[in-house]
Amino acid sequence: MSKDEDKIKHSKRLSKDNNAIAKQVKIAKEHGIPVTDGHRFNKHHAMDCGNPDCVMCGNPRKVWGERTVQEQRFDQQYKSDQRSTDNNNAND
């Protein structure tokens, strides 16, 4: 019933997950974090403590009251677009 393409996609997906887990386990071992169950790192990064109030793991908007990098980039682009449209309207 299943096609060869489906089998290949499934095996690639499993391989990708296993590679990601192996990378996180390697990072954890390098930093001295005890690893009892490797699949704990399936959807959890080794260096992420999971505490939203943590300076490294938390949202900068909540920790420092700043905008995120993505929001800063959007604002900068929006302002430059506004200036260029204002200059074009002034020249008309």
- Taking residue 6's Cβ as centre, other Cβ atoms within 10 Å add up to 10
Query: Residue 10: CB partners within 8 Å, gap ≥ 6?
Result: none
33 with 50: CB under 8 angstroms? no
What's the pLDDT tens digit per position in 7-48?
999 999 999 999 989 998 998 889 888 888 878 777 778 887
The answer on pLDDT for 1 being more than 60 is: no
The pTM of the full predicted model, rounded to 2 decimals, is 0.53
Q: List Cα–Cα distances, 25 to 36, 37, 54, 67, 82, in angstroms.
A: 10, 9, 22, 32, 47
